[in-house]
Amino acid sequence: MHSIKSRKRVRLSFTYLLLGVVSLSIFYPLAWTIGASFNRGNSLVSTTLIPNNPTLDHYRALTKAGGTFYYFQWFLNSLKISLFTMILSVVLVSLTAYAFSRFRFVGRKNGLTLFLLLQMIPQFSALIALFVMAQMLNLVNSHFLLILIYVGGQIPMNTYLMKGYLDSIPRSLDESALIDGASNTRIFLQILMPLAKPMLAVVAMNGFTGPLGDFALSSVILRDPKAYTLPIGLYNLISDKMGASYTTFAAGAILISIPVALVFILLQKNFVTGLTEGGTKG
Amino acid sequence: MSNTEQQGHSHARIAAIMSIIPGLGQFYNRQIIKGIIFLSVAAIYLRGFANLFNMGFWGLFTLGTEVPRDNSIFLLAEGLIALLVLAIGLLFYYLNLRDAYKNGEEIDYGLKTSSFGGSVKNMFSTSYPYLLIGPGFLLLIFSVIFPILFSFALAFTNYNLYHTAPAHLANWVGLDTFKQIFTVDIWRSTFFDVLGWTVIWTLVASTLSIALGIFLAIVVHQKDLKLKKFWRTVLILPWAVPGFVTILIFAGMFNDSFGAINNVLLHAIGIKAIPWMTNAAWTKVALLFMQSWLGFPYIFVVTTGVLQSIPEDLYEAALMDGATAWEKFRSITLPFILTQMAPIIITQYTFNFNNFNIIYLFNNGGPAVPNSTAGGTDILVSWIYKLTMQSNQYALAAALTILLSFFVILIAVLQFRRTKAFKEE
């Protein structure tokens, strides 16, 4: 009896130790960045985790736009592009997935195969073409073009996820509504969409985080510093000045990470259900 | 038998043959308004796109003949647009023939063809799914299908810095670029170096984050562990912070001269500074560490969901049989997780295969390798990006893109044979 108890204690202590170490490795980079953002000076050599002499200078520096630095403009650009991509993806994906899941029509099977193929070919393949297209259409620096490209890229994968989810909702629900005289559009909006909420959350998250983290496609189209999104802007901030503006970067990183992480953690319940039931990419 | 059948279909057949000129078959079926619409759509289409077809196909075949008047790449784009428009036209043409045949058939069977109003109503209900798909599909053509076709087409040209408008034209060169990848020494060695690291990277980085995610999920799932909710929130933090921010932060922390890893952590335990950013092998170690850090929370979250869905009575039955904790894990928990998560696990691999951000943002694919267009840690996608954006080797980049796509499709086909969504088809 005694040995079982002590073995349990050993196991639990190991667990807590392990989780402690893992948590530390998670918090350390984050804490280090927070520390750097409050440290005086521009270099990181003198950076300490808890600044001796904290300053808000770097946060103030973010507001001073000029030259190639437009932090808040980048922030707004990123937010705008992500929001529009999210909204458009959710609308288009749910419409397409509804058609594929509930109707049988000529070309359906070919359409599904095409979507399957397209979601396998990385959108990255189109990089060279997008580069040329932007110039041909005179849409270099155009956020509108970028949003269209992102939404197009979101459609195949997410349509599959959403179609799979809608397939799992019994058809008898729509059939009984149809008998009650509801139109297709009504069945879609008032019966299917509310039931598909977990998957809608996944599609929305993909639509928002995809553009937010994208560097390759956006750097091909956005060439003017004022038109940059955060990934391009912050990357150039670091690589241009060889580490000399790292503390400014740290402040900028904190300012974007905290709201995103908060929203993510608050909303995670909503999309975790969809993820575990549907299965998606990381 | 066959004779009567032929007679029975005479009307349908004649209507279809007459519809070789769109609309005539509909006239023959006494559907006048429909016929007029078909005829005029065809006329407008031919008139409107005559120029595009003329220029487009000429451009597509020659890629331009005169500098500086012609820009090969724009001509190629125009040619591909002409092809897409032609494909849509052929689809319409096919529908026109089908419509004439179907309605002719109805007359053969002695039915009355539907009136114009009836056709419209009929059309609306059959076209409802097309209306739903239409907007998404059009966008897909514009922003995905056309660009991919375009990129693929470039692989068969010699478009690069030395064949750029306005001073020069590009030409079709067939499979030359592909041949060169495998025959020109420097290209071949770079290609196989990059491919080798891409494969190792994909396998190791994905496997590490999957193993770590599953392991931590099982650890936190222990019944008698306190503060479960807290641990779970902490463990998804790396996923919650935008990935590009984390990568750039790590780039600072791993910096050879001022980074905290060398100056604080390794210094504290008395290890000399490690050349994280200037030695390819160390950069690879850092990359693998970072991807495990970034990638495990997603697997952790999904595994936690799966663990909670394992029926409790499986364990009770095992307990009755006197199974040890390890046996329970090996014969119940692990198989359950692996079968449930197979599609998600495989997507991790395809994701890392294309994981441009971490490679490029961390150290630019570097450190640089002398006499090579690829850095020491470049994977295929980041190499393609550099070839396009930095050394203007468009044709080579496009050819590599095709090779890469085949590779990805190969992996992905394995995955989607297993998912439910496709099995139902």
Å between B124 CA and nearest CA of chain A: 12
* pLDDT greater than 50 at residue A281: no
A92 inside domain: yes
B387 interaction partners in chain A (CB closer than 8 Å): none
Let me know whether B205 and B149 are in one domain. Answer: no
- CATH code of residue B352: 1.10.3720.10
Contact B148 A220 (CB under 8 A): no
A154 inside domain: yes
- B36 touches B44 (CB < 8 A): no
B27 inside domain: yes
State what percent of residues in chain A have pLDDT above 70: 93
Amino acid, res. A81: I
**How many Å apart are CA A229 and CA B97, to the nearest integer?**
50
Work out the pLDDT band at A282, boundaries 50, 70, 90: very low
Is-cis flag, bond preceding A170, omega within 30?
A: no
Q: Which of A26, A123, A159 sits opposite B238 (nearest CB)?
A: A26
Residue B171 has a pLDDT of 83
Contact B401 A128 (CB under 8 A): yes
Let me know whether B108 and B189 are in one domain. Answer: no
**How many Å apart are CA A60 and CA A191, to the nearest integer?**
50
Contact A127 B388 (CB under 8 A): yes
DSSP one-letter code for A125: G
Contact A122 B354 (CB under 8 A): yes
Long-range contacts of B50-57 (CB under 8 A, 24+ apart): B52/B78, B52/B81, B52/B82, B52/B85, B53/B82, B53/B85, B53/B86, B55/B82, B56/B80, B56/B81, B56/B82, B56/B83, B57/B82
Let me know whether B65 and B183 are in one domain. Answer: no
Let me know whether A190 and A257 are in one domain. Answer: yes
- Return all residues near A205 (Cβ < 8 A) that are at least 6 apart: A267, A271
Phi, psi of B275 (to 5 degrees): -75, 70
3 state SS of A66: strand
> Which of A30, A38, A31 minimizes the C-alpha distance to A54?
A38
With CA atoms as reference, the chain B residue closest to A37 would be B249
Let me know whether A159 and A251 are in one domain. Answer: yes
Let me know whether A130 and A50 are in one domain. Answer: no
Higher pLDDT, A68 or A190: A190
**How many Å apart are CA B140 and CA B79, to the nearest integer?**
19
- In chain B, which residues have pLDDT < 50? 1-6, 420-425
Mind listing the pLDDT tens digit for each residue in A122-180?
888 888 888 888 888 889 999 999 999 999 999 998 998 899 889 988 888 888 888 88
Contact B252 A238 (CB under 8 A): yes
Residue A47 has a pLDDT of 61
Let me know whether B120 and B234 are in one domain. Answer: no
Q: Which among A11, A31, A55 is the end of a domain?
A: A55
Work out the pLDDT band at A44, boundaries 50, 70, 90: low
Contact B412 A108 (CB under 8 A): no
* pLDDT greater than 90 at residue A59: no
A61 inside domain: no
Q: Which among A12, A34, A55 is the end of a domain?
A: A55
DSSP one-letter code for B172: B
**How many Å apart are CA A24 and CA B216, to the nearest integer?**
14
Contact A43 B258 (CB under 8 A): yes
The total of structural domains in chain A comes to 2
Q: Which of residues 10-69 of B touch A (CB under 8 A)?
A: none
A60 inside domain: no
B172 inside domain: no
- B167 touches B68 (CB < 8 A): yes
Let me know whether A180 and A43 are in one domain. Answer: no
* pLDDT greater than 70 at residue A40: yes
Amino acid, res. A274: G
User: How far from chain centre, in Å, is Cα B323?
Assistant: 45
Let me know whether B192 and B151 are in one domain. Answer: no
Contact A12 B224 (CB under 8 A): yes
A184 inside domain: yes
C-alpha distance from residue A52 to each of B135, B262, B296 (Å)? 57, 21, 34
- CATH code of residue A184: 1.10.3720.10
B421 interaction partners in chain A (CB closer than 8 Å): 160-161, 163-164, 167
- State the count of interchain CB pairs (< 8 A) between A and B: 278
User: How far from chain centre, in Å, is Cα A204?
Assistant: 9
- Return all residues near B108 (Cβ < 8 A) that are at least 6 apart: B8, B9, B10, B11, B12
Determine the average pLDDT of the residues in A39-67.
Answer: 75
The answer to whether B238 faces chain A, any CB pair under 8 Å, is yes
Let me know whether B107 and B244 are in one domain. Answer: no
Contact B384 A281 (CB under 8 A): no
With CA atoms as reference, the chain B residue closest to A136 would be B74
Higher pLDDT, A234 or A4: A234
Q: Which of residues 391-420 of B touch A (CB under 8 A)?
A: 394, 397-398, 401, 404-405, 408-409, 412-413, 416, 419-420
- Return all residues near A220 (Cβ < 8 A) that are at least 6 apart: A127, A130, A131, A134, B388, B389
**SS percent in chain A: helix, strand, coil, step 5:** 80, 0, 20
Give the domain extent around A30.
Answer: 2-55
A43 inside domain: yes
Q: Which of B148, B244, B258 sits opposite A126 (nearest CB)?
A: B148
Let me know whether A123 and A17 are in one domain. Answer: no
DSSP one-letter code for A49: S
B269 token code pair: 């335990």
With CA atoms as reference, the chain A residue closest to B247 would be A235
The answer to whether B171 faces chain A, any CB pair under 8 Å, is no
Let me know whether B112 and B146 are in one domain. Answer: yes
B140 interaction partners in chain A (CB closer than 8 Å): 118, 152, 155-156
Let me know whether B153 and B206 are in one domain. Answer: no
**How many Å apart are CA A47 and CA A50, to the nearest integer?**
8
CB atoms within 10 A of CB B116: 13
B405 inside domain: yes
With CA atoms as reference, the chain A residue closest to B217 would be A19
Contact A95 B136 (CB under 8 A): yes
Let me know whether B239 and B385 are in one domain. Answer: yes
Contact A95 B135 (CB under 8 A): yes
Q: Which among A10, A34, A55 is the end of a domain?
A: A55
Let me know whether A93 and A233 are in one domain. Answer: yes
Rg for chain B (alpha carbons), in Å? 31
3 state SS of A225: helix
Q: Residue B66 region, left (φ>0) first, then alpha (ψ -120 to 50), else beta?
A: beta
Let me know whether A133 and A203 are in one domain. Answer: yes
B170 inside domain: no
Residue B423 has a pLDDT of 47
Residue A77 has a pLDDT of 95
With CA atoms as reference, the chain A residue closest to B346 would be A281
Q: What is the DSSP string of B82-142?
A: HHHHHHHHHHHHHHHHHHHHHHHHHHHTTPPPP-HHHHHHHHHHHHHHHHHHHHHHHHHII
Q: Which among B131, B163, B195 is the end of a domain?
A: B163
> ipTM score of the complex?
0.89
Q: Which of residues 151-170 of B touch A (CB under 8 A)?
A: 151-152, 154
* pLDDT greater than 50 at residue A104: yes
The total of structural domains in chain B comes to 2
Q: Which residue has the tokens 């879609």?
A: A188
Let me know whether B22 and B140 are in one domain. Answer: yes
Q: At what angle do helices B146-154 and B72-108 cross, to 10 degrees?
A: 130
Å between B219 CA and nearest CA of chain A: 7
Let me know whether A31 and A120 are in one domain. Answer: no
Let me know whether B264 and B396 are in one domain. Answer: yes
Å between A241 CA and nearest CA of chain B: 13
Let me know whether A172 and A191 are in one domain. Answer: yes
Let me know whether A91 and A12 are in one domain. Answer: no
Which of B160, B237, B249, B360 would best serve as a mutation to test chain A binding (most A beta carbons within 10 A)?
B249
Handedness of CA B305, B307, B311, B312 (dihedral sign): negative
Å between A66 CA and nearest CA of chain B: 22
Let me know whether A199 and A97 are in one domain. Answer: yes
| Lowest-confidence pick of A16-30, A268-282, B328-342 | A268-282
Let me know whether B135 and B184 are in one domain. Answer: no
What does pTM read for this prediction? Answer: 0.87
Å between B121 CA and nearest CA of chain A: 15
Determine the average pLDDT of the residues in A33-54.
Answer: 74
Let me know whether A167 and A203 are in one domain. Answer: yes
Give the domain extent around B277.
Answer: 179-423
Residue B3 has a pLDDT of 45
Residue A1 has a pLDDT of 52
